[in-house]
Structure 1
């Protein structure tokens, strides 16, 4: 390691895999870090005493619709991506999949090109793209515009495959009602993260989609067929498949804490449930309203809703989601942070060094209970 410039002590340390007590985070002059027992610090090493809290890797969010007053659906440009990424960096998220919700083919193509250009410029925080729609179910549309929802065509599939050749991490949310099993298999074989969401499909159909290559579920419990006594739906299929990952909006609004707790108890490999913010333009911003496809969304009481009360994304930060998982759901510290760091990274085709202390800016952060603004340490 390079010459150490300081050692952070007095906080619990989580490095992406392990939890350390009574250890120090050693930060080198080149920004490299390591964890050492506090009693083994070099003599004369400058120390920074932290008042409890936790030192952790930067968060990774695979569902980010906007931030900093900007919606990706409104502006598919590098400048928009920069504003969104910078807004999420202020809340401790170092890497995002900018997410385009259901829109026109022209905007879908523009979004792919913008992300490709941002990655080519090495824009901090942009690691790929998430296309949430338009191949969804109108029956479970949520805040998506039903006029733009449609079946996947061969041209749509070709666009996805081309994107996967040029962008390492491409995630696509689809409903089996508007996507064939052959299309799901083709996308999965090309390295695309196929996620089921906004679907009313039954258990058998969902299992078939997983068998075809779908590996994930978008915002578990929300906008999908529910667990019933005779028909388990997508929720039941997800909880019964150990290999399937699932994003979770842990704001205690989209999903009740007891429901989250039951899901963790029911699912084999429950560590594959990871946190997403489903953030909108409000993230990192004081705005109280914005629009999606010409429809107003209102921010009030930590909720984002359309005029009819339909939830439209979440007014949530990753630190708050981690806090909810610990205090309301029952996760321990390491598991809650893992759901926002190394677990989503496991889904990526090219994770690089994300999820641990050698990740992208901000690689290491300091969090205290109740704070939505972590302090970047390196």
Structure 2
């Protein structure tokens, strides 16, 4: 392939507006521009898109597994490569493999695997999301309560040692088991601190946001609800403009009515963005798997423990976009932004990903008119074709 390649014959959405009768010009893995076809220099390699929709690649900041692999079970670069490749088939061009609450040793192995994945330039790998173990037992969800514990000096050092190692790194904590000073230290090091799995009050969340927390993990799930006298974590996430919030758009974790109300209520500049919270089932034919020694069952689009507790999600990013567009009646533009631009903003990577503009990474997806997969490109390279 030449350094300069033009994707022709597509309807292009750059994250802001649609472009008709234009081409997307790539140069060395970056976007060079969106321009009329007759403005192309001679010798530019052309790739015909056949009238498909060309949209920014999806960014998933909470992915527990895929392709039959869970990060909790396998901490190596090949496992991360498998997870990224599985989600690329559904339009995800950048993601944070997520380690659910586990031991100090497993977390250290996951961090080492992430460093190797960066060294090997695994396509789609952004960094890690450590969801726990510093959560609230009262709001544990599917996390093993025996492994939940307060953050100590060794925990803080292990995470601070990751500063600068990844393009993005997220840590989900509960104020019950992490101090505001610890949050401040993590934020100062450039690590995204997310509040989740907590029974905290509005005032506590506000204090932790002031200390440096900037996102909320899977809005509505495993957190104190919006009450008429205590707004709780949900109320804080919606009211505090400095907080972004991830949400699982599968129709099981959050009712569509509640999702619609939250989208209308959210104060900016922080936004609600989509996460899948996907498990190993994505891109596989698994009917069950183990998490911390407990069996998770896959049935009817849901993943649950034996007692019915939801345990992650069985949904991919493109299906989430379709859900937002078709069930919540969001415009296609906004549904795509919730899966691309808004997570990029939340992760602080909008200078390189999330939209299609000159100088940004050439991460994009080709979709059919009825929102089915056609192809995925990461860094100007086609990594999947339907």
Q: Does the TM-score normalized on the shorter chain lie above 0.5?
A: yes
What SS does structure 2 have at the residue aligned with 1:100? Answer: strand
Give the conservation status (yes or no) of the 8 Å contact 1:215–1:245: yes
The answer to whether residue 53 in structure 2 is matched with residue 50 in structure 1 is no
TM-score by length of 2: 0.89
Indicate the residue corresponding to 2:313 in structure 1: 314
Q: Which residue of 1 aligns with 2:17?
A: 19
* Structure 1 residues 133 and 56, CA gap change in structure 2 (3 angstroms): same
CA–CA separation in structure 1 for the residues paired with 2:47 and 2:121: 33
Q: Secondary structure at the match of 2:327?
A: helix
Q: Name the CA distance, whole Å, in 2 between partners of 1:221 and 1:14.
A: 30
Equivalence map 1:270-289=2 (5 Å):
272-289=271-288
1:182-193 equivalences under 5 Å are 182-193=181-192
Matched, 1:142 2:128: no
**Secondary structure, counterpart of 2:298 in structure 1:** strand
- Tell me if structure 2 keeps the 8 A contact 1:251–1:316: yes
Q: Does 1:92 align with 2:91?
A: yes
TM-score, length of structure 1 as denominator length: 0.91
2:375 is matched with which residue?
375
- Structure 1's consecutive aligned runs of 4 or more residues displaced over 6 angstroms after TM superposition are 38-47
1:181 aligns with 2:180: yes
Change (3 A) 1:370 1:291: farther
Q: The residue matched to 1:210 in structure 2 has which SS?
A: helix
Alignment check: 8 A CA contact 2:270 2:346 kept: no
Please identify, of 206-215 and 321-330, the stretch whose mean Cα deviation from structure 2 is larger. Answer: 321-330
Q: CA deviation at 1:165?
A: 4.3
CA distance in 2, matches of 1:123, 1:355: 18
Which residues of 2 match residues 46-125 of structure 1 at below 5 A?
48=48, 50-51=50-51, 54-125=53-124
Distance (whole Å) between structure 2 residues aligned to residue 220 and residue 249 of structure 1: 8
User: C-alpha distance in 2, partners of 1:172/1:259?
Assistant: 26
Maintained 8 Å contact 1:264/1:270: no
Distance 1:268 1:295, change over 3 A: same
8 Å Cα contact 1:226-1:233 kept in structure 2: yes
3-state DSSP class of the match of 1:329? Answer: coil
Distance change (3 Å), C-alpha of 1:128 and 1:30: closer
320-329 vs 172-181, greater mean Cα deviation: 320-329
**Corresponding position of 1:364:** 364
Aligned partner of residue 166 in structure 1, secondary structure: coil
Residue 300 of structure 2: aligned partner: 301
The answer as to whether partners of 2:181 and 2:211 remain within 8 angstroms in 1 is: yes
Deviations 1:137-171 (A, max 9, x none): 11111100011011111111111111124334221
Give the aligned partner of residue 7 of structure 1.
8
For residue 41 of structure 1, report the CA deviation from its aligned partner: 7.7
Contact 1:277/1:318 (<8 A) preserved: yes
Indicate the SS of the match to 2:163: helix
User: 8 Å contact 1:25–1:33 — kept in the other structure?
Assistant: no
SS in 1 for 2:161: helix
Are the counterparts in 2 of residues 320 and 370 from structure 1 also a CA contact under 8 Å?
no
| Contact 1:197 1:223 survives alignment (8 Å) | yes
Shift of 1:26: 3.6
2:198 match? 199
Closer/same/farther in 2, CA of residues 114 and 372 from structure 1, 3 Å limit: farther
User: Which deviates further from its counterpart, 218-227 or 326-335?
Assistant: 326-335
1:115 aligned counterpart, secondary structure: helix
Per-residue CA distance 1:197-223 (angstroms, 9 max, x = gap): 000111111111111111000000011
Unaligned runs of 5+ in 1: none
In the alignment, the residues of structure 2 paired with residue 81 and residue 133 of structure 1 have an alpha-carbon distance, to the nearest angstrom, of 19
Paired residue for 1:323? 322
Partner of 1:153 in structure 2?
152
Q: CA deviation at 1:348?
A: 2.8
* Cα distance in 2 for residues equivalent to 1:161 and 1:150: 18
